[in-house]
Structure 1
Amino acid sequence: MNIRQIRATPVNITFRAPYRFSYGAIASLTKTVIEVETEDGVIGLGECADGDRAADVVAMGAKLIGHDVREIGTAEAKTVPGMRYTPWGNVLAARRVFGGIEMAMWDARGKTEGVSLATLLGGARRDRIELTEYFSYRWPGIDPGECSPTEVARYCASMIERHGSTRFEGKMGTVDLAEEVHMVAEVRAAIGDRPLQLDANGVWTVPTAREALRRVAPFDISWFEEPCETYEEMARLRRFSDIPFSAHSIDLPKAHALGCPEAIVTNINEHGGIARTVAFIRACEMFGVGFRFHSGETGIASAAYLHLTAALDHVRDPSQTLFHWYADDVIEGGPHRHDGGFVALPHGPGLGVTLDRAALARCHQRYLDEGPFPDGRKGGYGGQFRKR
């Protein structure tokens, strides 16, 4: 099970229509697909979530040639600084890169042993994983997009009709608050009593967030993700709202101390791989803080978080997904099927997915043509984030 070679390919996974959120807009997700090949010819798949990290993956991978894919701890010790901060390197970047390689090591091990990742983690407790259905304002693309509250509500109704969607989560903080409250009202009417969650990506100040929470409260909001940016700001809001909050930033001791946010929503890379994500989820369970996975990975990392969700009972609330927005993917069969509100746990050894070489080449060429995280509109991605 020793590593012979590590390859990395940056790709763009295009959306059917560019979606809008508080940071700006995004037309394609930029990810780095990782292949860890063993001396036996087994290829494990992994992914870096934060753009083009191919050069970093190859440089780190050179230190792991000949290393046994089962020895996760010693591989991390070889490649990731053993401190939270060092002036001679970027610890967070190293942790993210290793997390992608480590994912591929788990996949290679599972394929070699002929068992799934969920089995390696102790066994699957469920074989169908419930996920949310996303909505937002979207610019025209392959799909016409949605640019009004009525159009967003019609989109949500169509997802129920076409896919049996059971739970919805939508972006706020992109247009005028009054218009967005109207959107929430229209969506609530369209989806009936199905759970409804909202996400502002931390764009609002405390006064704006307080007003927004007051105005959406009549529509029975199950969760609100990042109405403000910091834990302290969300704790201040707790006096005015009983809607549970979630956040992407990771500070479990602070979440426990403040009692807010009630859940942390991240990906596998952010923790430094599958092993550390499992340890973090178990710590969340001990401290009574919820955990969910966020959206925006290729089918590779998405398969990994489906296996973790299946194996770990503490990941109870539905995680996020954008599968119905994807127009492409790098795995055989395309994006994971999300019907009836659930995605089936991938079957087969390791992650249970297979790389589609033609799709990988196509998505890599798209990255070369578009650049990282294109917004689909003239002027480039980002630049719109500001507190309101």
Structure 2
Amino acid sequence: MPGIRITGLKATPVNIPLEKPMWWTGGHYPGTSKTIIEVETDQGLVGLGEAPSVDVLATIGEMGARLVGADPLDIAGCESLSVPPWQIVQNTDDSSVVKAFGAIEIALWDLRGKVSGEPLYRLLGGAVRKEIPFTEYFAFRAGGETSPGEVTDYCLRMREEHGATMFEGKLILGDPKLEIDTVKALRTALGPEAMLRLDSNMQWSLPSAIRIFREIEPYDIRNYEDPVATFEEMAELRKHSSIRMSTHVPDIRRAVSLGAPDYIVTNFAVLGGIARTVRFIGACEAMGVGFWCYSGDAGIATAGYLHMSAAMAWITEPSQSLFRWQVGDVIEGGPFRQTNDVIAVPEDPGLGVTLDRSALAHWHRHFVENGPLDHFHDPALPGRFRRLPLN
């Protein structure tokens, strides 16, 4: 489609609540707030993108104004209109421009697919897999599971109802014994074939993590995400256990230098978009660091995960998901939900998803009326940030 030009950009903040808040290190996690992006063109095609937060809303709007008249297929040119030189961006305290443009860049790839009539995975080189695995999530939840037995019963129900065999979860109430007991109960009930991964959101001190790893290692934990606060502590923890570790902090250099963590788990917008994520995964492959995608996104970003996981042979582990708990989405037919651990990659052009405008309006109204969802709320201490004992 020659001569296609950007005519405008819409950025809409939305809330995506969970059916029940889960506990994490910061307090109640009731869901997430996202910014949904529509890049409009003079050919009537609209590209969809998604930012992982709403703090970049103003920055996205400023970038959108600069991009009017630009060629959306010239992604490098659009980046040069939006983002300072990369070496400067990487050495300042403000990464918001990366996240803001990364979300827009996803929409530019969606447009590229719509112009060519090809699904995104084909633009990335083709599919090495068409069914993309995701873990089923478990946690201690307000109004839900609060004991080892209840968490175990929930996972057994997910196996029975949806064919789940891959599980990941947070057991974050500040009690090492409670976590150890829950892991033992899960492995006993689910059997040796089930995949078990854990995520503590950096809740443990190094001595507590060493104790927990010693107790749970016999129960075949596939991976433990951010058990402690720093890469240096993970490297020390590595001396005491063979359990693999992952992080949301995308620092390949330090991971390789220290020998831990083993995997990086992140969002494409955080890395600067689809193109930079492809390069990031290539660097991970060259350095032997694993990669998968994190959870809590709306359907637009999730579609990006599906296409990337379809095209990238290096993504060998299932990505995270909160799909089962999300009560809404902004795409038609959303949220995505796995059966027998997998979701099929979309085959329509671009990301392969369609914006549900009534749902977008509904969840935007939820945002306007309630504000962004607060991930640090502790109901026991109104007005204060949660503090867990480090043990």
Deviation at 1:52, TM superposition (A): 4.4
List aligned pairs for 1:227-246, cutoff 5 A: 227-246=227-246
State the partner residue of 1:26. 29
More moved, 354-363 vs 172-181 = 172-181
Residue 116 of structure 1 contacts residue 348 of structure 1 at CA under 8 Å; is this kept in 2?
yes
* Distance in 2 separating the partners of 1:146 and 1:313: 36
Moved more, 45-54 or 103-112: 45-54
2:269 equivalent to 1:269: yes
Separation in structure 1 between the aligned mates of residue 53 and residue 383 of structure 2, nearest angstrom: 14
Range that drifts further, 366-375 or 121-130: 366-375
What runs of 5+ residues in structure 2 fail to find an aligned partner? none
Deviations 1:102-138 (A, max 9, x none): 0001101111211111011111121100111110001
- How far 1:369 sits from its partner (Å)? 2.0
Q: Return the alpha-carbon distance in structure 2 between the equivalents of residues 346 and 382 of structure 1.
A: 43
Question: Displacement, 1:386?
Answer: 4.9
- Alpha-carbon offset, residue 54 of structure 1: 2.5
Whole-Å Cα distance in 2 between the matches of residues 51 and 150 of structure 1? 37
2:184 alignment counterpart: 185
- CA separation in 2, counterparts of 1:77 and 1:280? 19
Q: CA deviation at 1:85?
A: 4.6
Instruction: State the Cα distance separating 1:174 from its structure 2 match.
Output: 2.4
The DSSP-based 3-state class of the residue aligned with 1:134 is strand
- Give the gaps of 5 or more residues in structure 1: none
**What is the match of residue 172 of structure 1?**
171
Whole-Å Cα distance in 2 between the matches of residues 382 and 8 of structure 1? 31
Cα distance change on mapping 1:98 and 1:90 into 2, 3 Å? farther
Identify if the C-alpha distance between structure 1 residues 171 and 260 changes in structure 2 by more than 3 Å, giving closer, same or farther: same
SS in 1 for 2:250: coil
In 2 relative to 1, CA 90–75 (structure 1 residues): closer, same or farther, beyond 3 Å? Answer: farther
Contact 2:27 2:378 in 1 (8 A): no
Q: How far apart are residue 387 of structure 1 and its match?
A: 6.3
**Structure 1, 185-194 or 64-73: larger mean CA deviation:** 185-194
Shift of 1:385: 4.8
Contact 1:123 1:311 in 2 (8 A): yes
Spell out the pairing of 1:340-359 with structure 2 (5 A cutoff). 340-359=340-359
Name the residue aligned to 1:314.
314
Q: Secondary structure at the match of 2:113?
A: helix
The alignment partner of 2:270 has SS state of: helix
> How big is the shift at 1:150?
0.8
Q: CA deviation at 1:381?
A: 9.0
Which runs of structure 2 are paired with 1:11-160 in the superposition (5 Å)? 11-85=14-88, 91-140=94-143, 145-160=144-159
| Contact kept? 1:374, 1:381, Cα under 8 Å | no
Q: Contact (CA 8 Å) 1:25, 1:382: kept in 2 or not?
A: no
Distance 1:385 1:96, change over 3 A: farther
Per-residue CA deviation, residues 196-245 of structure 1 (Å, 9 max, x unaligned), is 11111112111111111112112111111111121111000111000011
Find runs of 4+ consecutive structure 1 residues off by over 4 angstroms.
83-91, 375-382
Output the CA distance in 2 between the equivalents of 1:239 and 1:89.
33
Deviates more, 1:86-95 or 1:258-267: 86-95
Aligned-residue offset at 1:337: 2.5
Determine if contact 2:330/2:356 at 8 Å carries over to the other structure: yes
Mapped contact 2:56–2:99 kept (Cα < 8 A): no
Q: Does 1:370 align with 2:373?
A: no
- Structure 2 counterpart of 1:26, which letter? Y
Q: What is the Cα deviation at residue 21 of structure 1?
A: 1.1
Q: Which residue of 2 aligns with 1:10?
A: 13
Structure 1: how far apart are the matches of 2:33 and 2:312?
28
- Whichever residue aligns with residue 357 of structure 1, its letter is R
Give a deviation string over 1:294-348, Cα, whole Å, max 9, x none.
Answer: 1111000000011001001001111111111111000001211211000110120
CA contact (8 A) 1:84 1:91 kept: no
- Note the 1:278-297 alignment, pairs <5 A: 278-297=278-297
Distance change in 2, residues 1:363/1:121 (3 Å): same
- Judge conservation of contact 1:4–1:65 (CA < 8 Å) in 2: yes
2 CA distance for matches of 1:25 and 1:186? Answer: 24
Is the deviation greater in 71-80 or in 29-38?
Answer: 71-80
CA contact (8 A) 2:204 2:228 kept: yes
- Residue in 1 aligned with 2:208? 208
Q: Contact 1:36 / 1:44 at 8 angstroms: preserved in 2?
A: yes
Identity across the alignment (%)? 45
Distance 1:176 1:151 in 2: 16
**Which amino acid letter does the alignment assign opposite residue 38 of structure 1?**
T
**Aligned residue type for 2:258:** L
Asked if the contact 1:110–1:351 (Cα under 8 Å) also holds between the matched residues in 2, the reply is yes
Q: Distance in 2 between matches of 1:23 and 1:176?
A: 15
**Maintained 8 Å contact 1:166/1:195:** yes
- SS state of the match for residue 185, structure 1? helix
Count how many residue pairs are aligned between Structure 1 and Structure 2.
384
Report the alpha carbon displacement of residue 380 of structure 1 after superposing the two structures with TM.
6.9
After TM superposition, the structure 1 stretch with the greater mean CA deviation from structure 2, 183-192 or 357-366, is: 183-192
Contact kept, 8 Å, 2:267 with 2:293, in 1: the verdict is: yes
2:70 & 2:171 partners in 1: Cα distance? 46
The equivalent residue for 1:226 is 226
Q: CA deviation at 1:87?
A: 12
| Residues 1:121 and 1:52: Cα distance change in structure 2 (over 3 Å) | same
Cα 1:98–1:385 change in 2 (3 A) is farther
Deviation of the 1:377 alpha carbon:
7.1
